[in-house]
Each structure stands twice: as C-alpha cells, then as structure tokens.
C-alpha cells in the first residue's frame, strides 16, 4: 500500500483519459479494501480500548470511501455498473431462496447514480 520511498510515485504527467481514470478508480477501491483489512487486523490485535475505538472508526470511514468510489465507478462506467447490478441481483435471489431478509432496505439497494442525481 504505502510507498513512501519514492515521494513522486503518485505523480502522473499530464491528464489521464477516461479509461485510465476508470482503471485508477479500480486501483483506489483496491487500496481502500486493503486499508479496511489492515485497520481491522489492528483492531483485532489490540486490547487497548481507545486504540480499538479509533482504529475501528477509521476502518469504517474507509468502508464509506469504498461506497463513494463504487458510486463514482458506476457513474464513469455504466456498462460495468450493469455487471455489478447483475451480481447483486443474483445474490438477492439466493437470499430469497434461503428466506433470508437483509438489513439493506430495497430503496437503498436499488439506488443508482441516476436515482441519486434525481434527489
Ligand atoms: Fe480511504
């Protein structure tokens, strides 16, 4: 994740294309997921209540970042968003078959970038 050895590693000469931006967002999502994994490991590894609370709060902020980036990715690549929606629907159908009701409200689960823009 962190690459402090080269302070210019993140510099990109010029502007990137939309396709490159989409790839960058995917990489950003991977970075957020890795951060969640690491913070959660540290929460589990300590009994210090203050450290646990602070690290868990940061971990949960990273989860919000995943949501932001996924929404951005859906906006930038609607075709990819269709694939995400297909996968989500497949799991919803499996949950229905198992008579499992999830906490996610249907209105929230059905949110798309289009529906969010209309609010
Ligand atoms: Fe983050």
Higher-confidence residue of 45 and 109: namely 45
Rounded to whole angstroms, the Cα distance separating 66 from 71 reads 8
Q: Extract the tokens encoding 9.
A: 């590693």
Q: 32 CA distance to ligand 1 centroid (A)?
A: 5
pLDDT digits over 1-45, tens only?
666 778 777 788 889 999 999 999 999 999 999 999 999 999 999
Axis-axis angle for helices 18-45, 49-76 (nearest 10): 160
Ligand 1 mean position, distance from CA 41 (Å)? 16
Distance 81 CA to ligand 1 centre (A): 21
Q: How many angstroms does the Cα of residue 63 sit away from the middle of ligand 1?
A: 8
Looking at the predicted structure, is the pLDDT value of residue 108 above 70?
no
Rounded to the nearest whole angstrom, what is the distance from the C-alpha of residue 99 to the centroid of ligand 1? 34
CA gap 87, 93 in Å, rounded:
10
Mean pLDDT of 70-94: 97
Which pLDDT score, from 0 to 100, does residue 111 have? Answer: 53
- Taking the centre of ligand 1 as the mean of its atom positions, its distance from the CA of residue 58, in whole angstroms, is 8
Q: Which of 39, 35, 63, 61 is nearest to 51 (CA)?
A: 39
How confident is the model at residue 110, as a pLDDT? 52
3-state DSSP of 42-58:
HHHHCCCHHHHHHHHHH
Look at residue 59 and tell me whether its pLDDT is greater than 70. yes
Give residue limits of the domains in the chain: 17-76, 79-119
Q: Closest Cα to residue 23, out of 77, 65, 94, 96?
A: 77
CA distances to 15, 23, 67 from 18, in Å: 10, 9, 20
Say if residue 114's pLDDT is above 60.
Answer: no
Q: Ligand 1 mean position to 68 CA, how many Å?
A: 10
- pTM of structure: 0.78
Higher pLDDT, 105 or 71: 71
């Amino acid at each position: 994740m962190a690459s402090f050895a080269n302070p210019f590693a993140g510099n990109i000469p010029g502007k990137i294309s939309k396709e490159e931006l989409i790839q960058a967002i995917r990489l950003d999502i991977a970075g957020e997921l890795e951060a969640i994994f690491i913070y959660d490991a540290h929460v589990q590894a300590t009994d210090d209540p203050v450290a646990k609370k602070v690290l868990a709060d940061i971990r949960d902020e990273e989860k919000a970042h995943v949501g932001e980036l996924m929404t951005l990715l859906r906006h930038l690549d609607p075709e990819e968003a269709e694939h995400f929606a297909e996968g989500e629907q497949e799991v919803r159908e499996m949950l229905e078959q198992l008579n499992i009701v999830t906490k996610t409200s249907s209105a929230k689960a059905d949110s798309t970038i289009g529906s969010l823009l209309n609010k």
